[in-house]
Amino acid sequence: MVTAKSQDFTTEQLLAILSEDYNSVYLVNIDENSFKVYLLSDTIKEKFGKYFETNPTYDDAIRNYVLSTVVKRQQYEMLQETSRENIIHQLSTKNIFVKDFKVERDGNTFYYRMKAVRLATTDGQFTVVLGFADISFQKQKELEQYAYVDSVTGGHNYNYFKEAVSLNKMPGFILAMDIHSFKIVNKVCGIKTGDITIKGIYRSVQKHLHEQDVIGHVNADQFAIFLSTDDQKYVTEFMNSVTIELLTFSMRMKVPQLIPYFGITKWTAEKKIEMLYSEAKTAKLESKNNPSSNYAYYSEADANKMMEIKKIEDEFEEALKANSFEIWYQKKCNPVTGKMVGAEALVRWKKSDGDFLPPADFIPIYEHNGMIRKLDEYIFRQVCKQQKEWMMQGYQVVPISINVSRASLYYLDIVDIYRNIADEFDITPSFLPIEITESATIDNNEIKDIVNNFRLAGFPLHMDDFGSGYSSLATLNVIHFDTIKLDKTLVDYIGNYGGERLLEHTISLSKELGMHVTAEGVEKEEQVKFLTQLSCDSIQGFYFARPQPAEEFVRNLEVG
Ligand code: C2E
Ligand code: MG
Ligand code: MG
């Protein structure tokens, strides 16, 4: 390698030094446009040996070489870089000029390095020693190296993990690791701190690995880990150590607590690494929702559950097209007169065997993957269409409320879209109340605005499921709902002194705040009686009717 200044060497010395690393070396007189061969690689000798004997100029030789060996689109760049003008330009400020070329030939990629060293000659001529080397092998290694390095952690990535574990022959476990609510770190501390934290997590795990173990950063806060052991106790100890390590690390970093959770599967040579990692991920989901443990082992049952979920996801578009999502209607009645005052649209999935899948079996899946937005909009459109049809047939329609999931409320244009659909079918929004669960409204200002916009656009707002889960009276003060729907869990308190007082006060407070009250899940006569005494406005429940398919429900509507 020429590391010292070229002036320190004689021409002969330089030619010899370059010949150590370069396959072809030439002495080029730039001013005279001539060159002498000092060393030739076997391939160049074979292809150009005879031609060089004819004493071509430097320009011609280079031109000949480039045009006959390099694909067309790379010729221009190579001619430019090797031109005498460029060599003069490059060596006007420095003594050495190195340039790498990527060359495609016969469907393969080669890498060449050119090195030009200016000679300190006494005759005033611009002379250089020019070497060319095939560095394809070296470059390939570099690229491979690069392909295994993770840009965030500086450690190994998932590609490396797969490669390393595929060479394994020993018993082991594959772990998928994730951090609870990592998004909060990014949100609170910024992406930069988030990245540093990921790097720290990688190092923290690494500290507890043994020689045969492997870690790879998959993406965001997800890591793949291979533990070379057949002892589950070792796995448990490893997870405990990492959990403690991360706790200390998060305190040191002053970031929200980093709590890892793991999914684990046993390594076997019979399955591909991707497959095993996906099993570990399935188990990881299981542990995510388990408050009593931060890890879970993969089981067949998990696999079946995941496959069911996947099937339900995969079938969505098809089911939409085939109109397999049917709408059933459950009426809401005035408890005193028993007269129908409205209804709720409830989706059912009609399967090919004629069975109906209840919403609980698919709505949560679609809420999780974002498809619910499309389904909610579809149901809304179908209800508008149905209302229009019944109107055209001469029925007196009633308001039919439609459930809008919390996940649909993240889309700012939802109110405009719904308004346009209602207009398309010429249905007054007051006949299309929107049911939103109370928990959907409390944590996000944008959602509050969207919910309010529904109301401003004329859609009555019903607060669904009040009294179930995380009810907060404070919500009643933030958004004005037209109707509050008391959940079945509250209605079921009837018969219990404390529960009845709670209902009494909830109903009277709601009325004071100007809301209508609908009780849901009413099945018994004594419940109807009690609710009537409290002046509950309407009742929805099996006592009056179960949800009915459209052709059955229509009989409840009056004509004229
Ligand atoms: P929800 O909106 O609270 O609907 C009321 C649920 O209570 C319905 O269950 C209804 O069949 C049930 N129900 C009504 N009266 C009684 C009763 O007296 N006793 C009992 N045990 N149950 C009663 P369903 O149809 O299974 O719907 C469950 C949930 O699925 C709905 O709860 C709603 O949150 C959701 N859902 C239904 N359709 C849609 C939809 O189109 N979009 C969205 N986003 N969610 C929907
Ligand atoms: Mg509802
Ligand atoms: Mg409800």
Task: Tell me the best of 344, 348, 363 to mutate to test the pocket of ligand 1, counting ligand atoms within 8 Å of each CB and taking the most.
Answer: 363
Residues 80 and 218 grouped into a single domain: no
Other residues' Cβ atoms within 10 Å of the Cβ of residue 192: 9
Domain CATH number, residue 376: 3.20.20.450
Q: With a cut of 90, say whether residue 307 has pLDDT above it.
A: no
**Ligand 3 geometric centre to CA of 387 (Å):** 22
Domain CATH number, residue 174: 3.30.70.270
Q: What is the pLDDT of residue 426?
A: 97
Residues 280 and 237 grouped into a single domain: yes
Q: Is residue 6 part of a domain?
A: no
Q: Ligand 1 within 6 A of 521 CB?
A: yes
Ligand found nearest the CA of 522: 1
Q: What is the pLDDT of residue 87?
A: 94
Close Cβ partners of 218 (under 8 Å, ≥ 6 residues apart) = 157, 158, 161, 224
Give SS3 for 218. strand
Q: DSSP characters for 463-483?
A: EEEETSSS--THHHHHS--SE
Q: With a cut of 60, say whether residue 81 has pLDDT above it.
A: yes
Q: Is residue 146 part of a domain?
A: no
Domain boundary among 236, 267, 301: 301
User: Which residue, 315, 416, 297, is CA-closest to 361?
Assistant: 315
Residues 453 and 399 grouped into a single domain: yes
- In the block, tokens 């004229």 appear at 560
Residue ranges near ligand 3 (ion) with Cβ within 5 Å: 464-465, 520
Residues 352 and 262 grouped into a single domain: no
Residues 177 and 111 grouped into a single domain: no
Residues 329 and 406 grouped into a single domain: yes
Q: Is residue 306 part of a domain?
A: no
Domain boundary among 301, 333, 361: 301
Residues 96 and 200 grouped into a single domain: no
Residue 297 tokens read as 């082992």
Counted domains in the chain: 3
Domain that holds residue 156: 151-301
Q: How far is CA 334 from the centre of its chain?
A: 47
482 contacts 433 by C-beta, under 8 angstroms = yes
**Ligand 3 geometric centre to CA of 520 (Å):** 6
Q: Ligand 1 within 6 A of 467 CB?
A: no
Q: Is residue 44 part of a domain?
A: yes
Q: With a cut of 70, say whether residue 120 has pLDDT above it.
A: yes
Residues 527 and 418 grouped into a single domain: yes
Q: Is residue 324 part of a domain?
A: yes
Q: Ligand 1 within 6 A of 519 CB?
A: no
Residues 83 and 161 grouped into a single domain: no
Residues 79 and 49 grouped into a single domain: yes
361 contacts 312 by C-beta, under 8 angstroms = yes
Average pLDDT over every residue of 330-349? 97
Q: Is residue 310 part of a domain?
A: no
Average pLDDT over every residue of 459-476? 81
Q: Ligand 1 within 6 A of 358 CB?
A: yes
Residues 363 and 219 grouped into a single domain: no
Q: What is the pLDDT of residue 8?
A: 64
Percentage of the chain beyond pLDDT 70 is 96
Q: Is residue 5 part of a domain?
A: no
The pTM of this model reads 0.62
**Ligand 2 geometric centre to CA of 373 (Å):** 16
Q: Which amino acid is at 301?
A: A
Average pLDDT over every residue of 311-320? 94
Q: With a cut of 60, say whether residue 144 has pLDDT above it.
A: yes
Average pLDDT over every residue of 201-217? 95
Residues 363 and 136: their CA atoms lie apart, in Å, by: 55
The closest residue, in CA terms, to atom 45 on ligand 1 is 403
Residues 98 and 11: their CA atoms lie apart, in Å, by: 18
Residues 177 and 103: their CA atoms lie apart, in Å, by: 42
- Among the atoms of ligand 1, which is closest to the Cα of residue 346? 38
